[in-house]
């Protein structure tokens, strides 16, 4: 007998946002059903599919029986091509102790949810970060926590800001306590403030090191965050985050850790994503402006960057560097293992958590 979805008391409300019938939503749901928790059972998992700017009937038709009627369907019609709206709708509807968010083209390994939940209940975790891998088996090496560390993580020492998407389990009480929301209106970076406030909010964070993985699908053909946009749009999340009162109230070490990550992951990736011919003066000016804003609020954030990183950063803020020079410097910083990528630009920062050598070792041993 299947109970009405409104009457169950699940341990986990799992939220999947879907905006297109091209997404393999059935595959995602099948994987959740095999992730070790009873579906629609007390202490189990309830699957919440948020139909984003699309009719529920179109999504239901993509899901095979018998699971089709065991899903709770929610609607979000905001007209915005961003997962922020549907994920927030799922959070608002959640009544379980824990929530988990999931992309519609992603999957869970068998038993993963049960293993994450066991950790969460054993330690009363505010969040349990899931290990990740790509569909081809390659491991996603974030966050690069301290070697061998998996329990009671420190946001700075364990470099938690490198795990932007809050994949795994998050305690609903912690979400309410911290007022966490995915930021509406961004075309990208809608999860940055959510995860940053979670990691630096004082709650206990654990890493499910040996548990089942969250699997990132490789076959999405229309991710809403994958299109090329003006650089100003790509970095609105970053400049607004560091201008917020919340960021201003963080200790210096936390501010520096967050900005180092923004530079290393987002700024340098933007520099590498354009070829020499496509670099425009407007792009260069925009990226230089972003760097100046970030470094101004956390000047120590540049100290642990590698020599190669520092050269690229200097070129970005230089008005004379060409697109070809930026591309070459972006390529050089990816030649991991060379002295320029292993040594911090500031000698005193050589053994800080964000230093290149410690960062690379932690990533390799994750």
CATH classification at residue 120: 3.90.550.10
Q: What is the pLDDT of residue 1?
A: 34
Q: What percent of the chain has pLDDT over 70?
A: 94
Q: Is the pLDDT of residue 204 over 60?
A: yes
96 domain residue, yes or no: yes
Please tell me whether residues 273 and 348 are part of one structural domain.
yes
In angstroms, the CA 3 to CA 215 distance is 30
Domain count along the chain? 2
Across the chain, mean pLDDT equals 92
Please tell me whether residues 256 and 299 are part of one structural domain.
yes
For tokens 């966490």, the residue is 180
Q: What is the pLDDT of residue 174?
A: 98
Helix 307-316 vs helix 323-332: angle between axes, to the nearest 10 degrees? 160
Q: What is the pLDDT of residue 7?
A: 54
144-189 pLDDT, tens digit each = 999 989 999 999 999 999 999 999 999 999 999 999 999 988 878 8
Comparing 98-112, 214-228, 281-295, 329-343, the range with the smallest average pLDDT is 214-228
230-240 pLDDT, tens digit each = 677 789 999 99
Bridge-partner residues for 51, per DSSP? 18, 75
Q: Are 312 and 333 in contact (CB under 8 A)?
A: yes
Comparing 93-97, 243-247, 271-275, 294-298, the range with the smallest average pLDDT is 271-275
In terms of residue numbers, what domain contains 328? 231-364
Q: What is the pLDDT of residue 221?
A: 44
Please tell me whether residues 207 and 239 are part of one structural domain.
no
Q: Is the pLDDT of residue 330 over 70?
A: yes
Q: Where are the alpha helices (DSSP H) in the chain?
A: 25-33, 56-60, 84-93, 112-123, 172-178, 192-199, 231-234, 236-243, 245-248, 252-261, 268-272, 281-297, 307-316, 323-332, 339-342, 356-364
Q: Is the pLDDT of residue 2 over 60?
A: no
Q: What percent of the chain has pLDDT over 90?
A: 83
Tokens of 209: 């090191």
């Amino acid at each position: 007998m299947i109970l009405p979805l409104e009457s169950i008391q699940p341990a986990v409300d799992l939220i999947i946002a879907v905006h297109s019938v091209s997404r393999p939503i059935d595959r995602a749901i099948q994987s959740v059903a095999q992730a070790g928790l009873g579906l629609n059972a007390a202490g189990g998992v309830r699957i919440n599919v948020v139909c984003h700017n699309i009719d529920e009937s179109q999504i239901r038709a993509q899901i095979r029986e018998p699971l089709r009627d065991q899903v709770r369907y929610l609607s979000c019609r905001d007209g915005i091509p961003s997962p922020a709206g549907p994920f927030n709708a799922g959070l608002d509807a959640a009544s379980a102790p824990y929530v988990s968010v999931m992309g519609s083209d992603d999957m869970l390994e068998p038993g993963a949810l049960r293993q994450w939940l066991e950790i969460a209940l054993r330690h009363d975790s505010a969040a349990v970060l899931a290990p990740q891998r790509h569909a081809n088996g390659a491991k996603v090496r974030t966050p690069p926590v301290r070697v061998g560390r998996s329990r009671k993580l420190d946001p700075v020492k364990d470099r938690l800001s490198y795990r932007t998407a809050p994949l795994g389990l998050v305690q609903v009480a912690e979400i309410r306590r911290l007022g966490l929301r995915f930021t509406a209106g961004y075309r990208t970076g809608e999860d940055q403030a959510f995860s940053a406030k979670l990691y630096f909010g004082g709650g206990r964070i654990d890493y499910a090191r040996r548990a089942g993985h969250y699997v990132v699908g490789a076959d999405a053909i229309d991710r809403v965050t994958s299109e090329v946009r003006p650089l100003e749009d790509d970095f609105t999340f970053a400049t607004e985050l560091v201008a917020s009162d919340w960021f201003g109230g963080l200790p210096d070490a936390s501010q520096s850790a967050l900005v180092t990550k923004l530079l290393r992951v987002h700024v340098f990736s933007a520099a590498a994503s354009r070829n020499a011919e496509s670099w425009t003066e407007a792009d260069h000016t925009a990226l230089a402006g972003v760097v100046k804003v970030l470094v101004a609020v956390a000047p120590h954030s540049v100290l642990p960057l590698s020599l190669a990183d520092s050269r690229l950063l200097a070129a970005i803020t230089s008005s004379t560097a060409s697109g070809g020079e930026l591309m070459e410097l972006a390529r050089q910083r990816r030649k991991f293992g060379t002295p320029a990528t292993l040594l911090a630009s500031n000698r005193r920062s050589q053994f800080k958590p964000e230093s290149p050598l410690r960062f690379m070792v932690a990533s390799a041993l994750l």
